């Protein structure tokens, strides 16, 4: 059972004191809408996806407006989740073409990425952030807490650029760069650094935008670690794309 989100109090924030029953109902309502495509606002979800690349702060401003009108920070429309799954499908098709996977290997790769990477791993990461932010980054004078579903939305927001950069743009460069080093390796590994940087920056914005959090700058610290790994990869001629190729091939053929 995943932790339920806390309902919003009268001042527009999430109260610990309120019952979680209404939040559970909202979560169930959200899940029931997953197969009601006619009721989803795909145009608005696509707008959010675009602005996550060019102006992610605007996306979180919209979350703030949403909290004022819907009395919750989390999305109530699963359109973003569905479009993200479509991006996963596109990336798996590209992997199949570039790595010359058989049809059954494509299906296995799609299941791995869609079920494990996109859903299960996302829930685990969202839960970790949900716990850490509520435990260490919530202002002590506030009784507000972060909704779990909002943490899941923040992860989806941050994961989208990560997915596009590493599983779509990167895979298009991967085939040509597998056996080459030098500039190709530099460009390829730089994309990894950019992808991880985007992930933690957008995650930081998600929690920084909440009015009851502080010290959220700590979320940006891992970017420095990945910068060090990037430099070491150039020194030791470690090609991230080649490692990814070996990993994907191993996962679908064993």
Summarised one tens digit per residue, pLDDT across range 147-182 is 999 999 999 999 999 999 988 888 777 665 544 555
Kindly report the average pLDDT of the chain as a whole number. 84
pLDDT for the residue 24 = 61
Please indicate whether residue 197 or residue 239 has the higher confidence score (pLDDT): 197
Residue 86: per-residue pLDDT: 95
Average of per-residue pLDDT across 170-195:
73
Does pLDDT of 32 surpass 70? no
**pLDDT recorded at residue 126:** 96
pLDDT at 31 over 70: no
83 to 57, 141, 160, 164, 228: CA distances (angstroms): 20, 38, 10, 12, 33
DSSP string, the chain: -PPPPPPB-TTSSBBSSS-SHHHHHHHHHHHHGGG-GGGS-HHHHHHHHHHHHH-HHHHHHHHHHHHHHHS-SS-S-THHHHHHHHHHHHHHHHHHHHHT--HHHHHHHHHIIIIIIIIIHHHHHHHHHHHHHHHHSB-TT--B---HHHHHHHHHHHHHHHHHIIIIIHHHHHHHHTT--THHHHHHHHHHHHHHHHHHHHHHHHHHTSTTB--GGGGGHHHHHHHHHHHHHHHTT--HHHHHHHHHHHHHH-
* pLDDT grade for 55, boundaries at 50, 70 and 90: very high
The tens digit of pLDDT for each residue in 88-105 reads 999 999 989 888 899 999
Residue 234: the pLDDT is 86
Q: What is the pLDDT of residues 1-28, one digit of tens each?
A: 444 444 444 344 444 444 343 556 666 6
pLDDT tens digits, 125-155: 999 999 999 999 999 888 889 999 999 999 9
């Amino acid at each position: 059972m995943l932790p339920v989100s806390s309902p919003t109090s009268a001042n527009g924030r999430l109260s610990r004191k309120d019952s979680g029953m209404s939040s559970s109902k909202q979560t169930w309502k959200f899940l029931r809408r997953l197969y009601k495509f006619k009721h989803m606002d795909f145009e608005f979800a696509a707008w959010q996806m675009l602005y996550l690349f060019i102006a992610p702060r605007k996306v979180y401003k919209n979350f703030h407006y949403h909290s004022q009108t819907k009395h919750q920070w989390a999305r109530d429309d699963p359109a973003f989740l569905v479009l993200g799954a479509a991006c996963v499908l596109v990336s798996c098709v590209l992997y199949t073409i570039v790595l010359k996977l058989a049809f059954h290997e494509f299906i296995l790769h799609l299941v791995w990425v869609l079920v494990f990477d996109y859903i299960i791993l996302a829930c685990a990461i969202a839960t970790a952030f949900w716990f850490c932010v509520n435990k260490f980054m919530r202002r002590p004078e506030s009784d507000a807490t972060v909704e779990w579903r909002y943490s899941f939305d923040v992860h989806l927001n941050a994961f989208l650029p990560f997915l596009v950069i590493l599983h779509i743009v990167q895979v298009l460069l991967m085939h040509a760069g597998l056996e080459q080093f030098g500039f190709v390796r530099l460009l390829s590994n730089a994309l990894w650094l950019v992808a991880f940087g985007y992930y933690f920056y957008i995650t930081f914005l998600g929690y920084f935008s909440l009015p009851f959090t502080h010290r959220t700058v700590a979320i940006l610290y891992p970017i420095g670690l990945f910068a060090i790994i990037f430099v070491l990869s150039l020194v030791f001629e470690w090609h991230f794309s080649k490692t990814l190729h070996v990993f994907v091939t191993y996962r679908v053929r064993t």
